[in-house]
């Protein structure tokens, strides 16, 4: 376990955990927490025993309720742009981790918290969760790629409606929009998130990495280039020991044991 102030990293077998712990401010992300997050991501990326990462907030009120407004209020144009670019870089690291990430949304996921969740592979929400990008109400716009990821997830019109009104959406509406992957009772949220993590941890790690790469990079390519990327990654997957193990296990009617080689 590592602990950088209000950001905690733990491991439970093949499942890594990143815990945001600032309960007095509904886990709002301070600048120190934003600085600690890339180190946590790189630490888990370099640990081959970790195959899935769950991101969660302390308590039952919030996943991450946005940025620390007191710190935000001190920004000038130059520092604001630099802050946005740093935040975008951090969330790119999350999205490009090469291991599935699960945001366990136990309550508010607002502003930077919603942007962080959107950078994750899956978003599992408690039925009490609320999501939104309310920056417009502070006289600013989302700065950590929220305008870009939200439009790609829910479409242009829905993204503009949410960004320009700044309204929060309940978990059920977020599910209907495609903003979250699934909604579960609040009391079972972490059990559901860990069960999904355990299922993903049992898959072939290299195949998972290639699939994530194909989808994430392919979405920003013309279709033909995306298909070429897929074919290249398929060829790499075919060369792995895990492919041979997977096909043998299928033919022998047993569960495969993947090693990431």
Helix (H, G, I), strand (E, B) or coil at 106: coil
Residue 111 has which token pair? 């502003």
Residue 118: closest CA among 145, 85, 83, 80:
145
- From 4, 115, 192, 230, the catalytic residue: 115
Q: Is 115 part of the annotated catalytic residue set?
A: yes
Alpha helices in the chain (DSSP H): 31-45, 69-72, 77-95, 112-118, 146-154, 156-165, 171-177, 189-201, 205-218, 223-238, 241-251
Burial category of 27 from C-beta neighbours within 10 Å (exposed 0-12, middle 13-18, buried 19 and up):
buried
- From 10, 71, 135, 161, the catalytic residue: 135
Residues catalogued as catalytic: 115, 135
């Amino acid at each position: 376990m590592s602990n950088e102030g209000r950001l905690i990293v733990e491991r439970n077998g093949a499942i890594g955990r990143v815990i945001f712990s600032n309960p007095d401010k509904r886990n709002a992300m301070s600048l120190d927490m934003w600085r600690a997050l890339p180190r946590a991501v790189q630490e888990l990326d370099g640990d081959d025993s970790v195959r899935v990462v769950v991101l969660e907030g302390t308590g039952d009120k919030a996943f991450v309720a946005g940025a620390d407004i007191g710190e935000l209020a001190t920004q000038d144009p130059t520092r604001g742009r630099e802050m946005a670019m740093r935040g975008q870089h951090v969330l790119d690291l999350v999205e490009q981790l090469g291991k599935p990430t699960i945001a366990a949304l136990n309550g508010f996921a607002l502003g930077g918290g919603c942007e962080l969740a959107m950078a994750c592979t899956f978003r599992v929400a408690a039925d009490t969760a609320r999501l939104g990008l309310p920056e417009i109400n502070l006289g600013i716009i989302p700065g950590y790629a929220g305008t870009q990821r939200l439009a790609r997830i829910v479409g242009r019109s829905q993204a503009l409606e949410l960004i320009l009104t700044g309204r929060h959406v309940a978990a059920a509406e977020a599910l209907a929009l495609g903003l979250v992957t699934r909604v579960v009772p609040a009391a079972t949220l972490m059990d559901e998130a860990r069960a999904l993590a355990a299922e993903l941890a049992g898959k072939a790690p290299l195949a998972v990495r290639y699939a994530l790469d194909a989808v994430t990079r392919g979405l920003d390519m013309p279709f033909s280039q995306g298909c070429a990327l897929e074919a290249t990654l398929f060829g790499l997957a075919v060369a792995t020991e895990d492919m041979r193990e997977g096909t043998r296990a299928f033919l022998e009617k047993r569960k495969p044991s993947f090693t990431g080689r």
